[in-house]
């Protein structure tokens, strides 16, 4: 059992999905670049936390990590071939079938086509001209704000670090193609491509709906009744928002252009969903009297429309 990623998140190796997600959210909030501007140590820790969560939050990846450690994250990794190599090493000698070609075994583990010099072996009758290398598929988990605003992330590919430029507005389940970052070509041919499938982690503040962002903001009863100007967060910082008098809980107010800004498309909006937060009236006679007076202002049954819809054919 490999422990490094569990230690990074501060969870036991038998932690369930809920525990892992809670630990990730806590650490992501603590080390997020927006809260630690210019702190390179916090930035590095934030990347470690995201990398650990990317693996441990995925059942299949977690299983392979538990068995093989970080080797399982190398692109083109083949678990069957890796088990074969492990068993061969455990025996301490080649098998009775005349030995094991370790070049073949290693090439099977990491893509099935790597030769001793990083190219493809040409079998009998194979073409002798240049051949493009194979494409590689992999997954990358992004924090919510990098996905929305764009940025750069590093990914390890066959022992080297490659910079991935994230376009603003990339969606959960979307994909990116990095040309020339796949397996090496044969006989001077071009390298294949790296195809990244994007997984976007939840944010602590915002939700996404297409190119719009949704933000739930509590307001007091007085602010709802009388109206108010309140401060709300956006991706670019706090702004003032005018709450109209008579605002209802669940009502949404729109801040135009404060949502996702995808490349070559108009920016989305930020939808601020109001949530009226009531005070605790228990034990406060004056407040209870005020509530009774407020109740007397209702001139109609507030649930009449609902009952009408329920009883409709």
* Residue 110: closest CA among 135, 159, 158, 77: 77
Structurally, how many domains does the chain consist of?
A: 3
CATH code, domain carrying 45: 1.10.287.110
CATH code, domain carrying 176: 2.60.260.20
Residue 119: pLDDT over 70: no
Residues 185 and 249 in one domain: no
| Residue of higher predicted confidence among 263 and 176 | 176
Confidence of residue 74 (pLDDT cuts 50, 70, 90): low
Distance from C-alpha of 237 to C-alpha of 232, rounded to nearest angstrom: 9
- In eight-state DSSP terms, residue 1 is -
Whether 223 maps to a domain, the answer reads yes
Residues 188 and 238 in one domain: no
List the beta bridge partners of residue 11.
Answer: none
Distance from C-alpha of 116 to C-alpha of 114, rounded to nearest angstrom: 7
* Stretch among 72-76, 130-134, 179-183 having the lowest mean pLDDT: 72-76
Whether 83 maps to a domain, the answer reads no
| Residue of higher predicted confidence among 206 and 103 | 206
Distance from C-alpha of 149 to C-alpha of 244, rounded to nearest angstrom: 30
Residue 96: pLDDT over 50: no
Is pTM beyond 0.75? Reply is no
Return the pLDDT at 280.
78
Question: Per-residue pLDDT tens for 251-281?
Answer: 999 999 999 988 777 889 999 999 999 887 6
Return the pLDDT at 124.
47
Distance from C-alpha of 84 to C-alpha of 76, rounded to nearest angstrom: 16
Whether 100 maps to a domain, the answer reads no
Q: In 57-154, where does DSSP find H-type helix?
A: 59-68, 79-91, 102-109, 144-149
What is the gyration radius of the CA atoms in the chain, in angstroms? 28
Question: Per-residue pLDDT tens for 31-72?
Answer: 887 778 778 888 888 888 888 888 888 888 888 888 888 776
Whether 189 maps to a domain, the answer reads yes
Do 164 and 153 meet the contact criterion of CB atoms below 8 Å apart? yes
Return the pLDDT at 118.
42
Distance from C-alpha of 181 to C-alpha of 163, rounded to nearest angstrom: 10
- Do the strands 175-178 and 194-200 form a parallel or antiparallel pair, or are they unpaired? antiparallel
Cα atoms in the Cβ-side hemisphere of radius 13 Å centred on 304: 5
Residues 1 and 29 in one domain: yes
List the beta bridge partners of residue 287.
Answer: none
Do 103 and 109 meet the contact criterion of CB atoms below 8 Å apart? no
Confidence of residue 116 (pLDDT cuts 50, 70, 90): very low
Residues 195 and 209 in one domain: no
Whether 309 maps to a domain, the answer reads no
Residue 241: pLDDT over 60: yes
| Residue of higher predicted confidence among 286 and 114 | 286
Confidence of residue 189 (pLDDT cuts 50, 70, 90): confident
- Quick count: other Cβ atoms within 10 Å of Cβ 306? 10
Domain that holds residue 48: 1-73
Whether 289 maps to a domain, the answer reads no
Return the pLDDT at 294.
83
- In eight-state DSSP terms, residue 70 is G
């Amino acid at each position: 059992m490999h422990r490094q990623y569990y230690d990074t998140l501060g969870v036991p190796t038998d932690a369930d999905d809920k525990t892992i997600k809670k630990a990730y959210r806590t650490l992501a909030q603590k080390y997020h670049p927006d809260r630690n501007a210019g702190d390179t140590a916090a930035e590095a820790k934030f990347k470690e936390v995201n990398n650990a969560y990317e693996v441990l939050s995925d059942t299949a990846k977690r299983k392979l990590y538990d068995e093989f450690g970080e080797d399982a994250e190398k692109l083109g990794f083949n678990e069957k071939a890796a088990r074969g190599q492990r068993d061969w090493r455990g025996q301490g000698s080649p098998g009775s079938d005349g030995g094991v070609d370790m070049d073949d075994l290693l090439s099977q583990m990491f893509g099935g086509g790597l030769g001793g010099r990083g190219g493809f072996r040409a079998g009998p009758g194979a073409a002798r001209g240049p051949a493009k290398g194979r494409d590689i598929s992999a997954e990358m988990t992004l924090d919510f704000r990098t996905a929305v605003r764009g940025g750069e992330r590093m990914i390890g590919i066959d022992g080297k670090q490659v910079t991935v430029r994230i376009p603003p507005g990339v969606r959960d389940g979307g994909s990116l193609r990095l040309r020339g970052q796949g397996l090496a070509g044969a006989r001077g041919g071009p390298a294949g491509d790296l195809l990244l499938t994007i997984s976007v982690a939840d944010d602590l503040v915002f939700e996404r709906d297409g190119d719009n962002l949704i933000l739930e903001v509590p307001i007091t009863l007085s602010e709802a009744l009388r109206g108010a100007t309140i401060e709300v967060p956006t991706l670019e910082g706090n702004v003032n928002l005018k709450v109209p008098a008579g605002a209802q809980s669940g009502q949404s107010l729109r801040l135009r252009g404060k949502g996702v800004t995808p490349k070559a498309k108009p920016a989305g909006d930020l939808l601020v969903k109001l949530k009226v937060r009531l005070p605790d009236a228990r034990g406060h006679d004056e407040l209870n009297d005020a509530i009774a007076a407020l109740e007397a202002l209702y001139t109609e049954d507030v649930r009449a429309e609902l009952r009408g819809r329920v009883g409709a054919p």
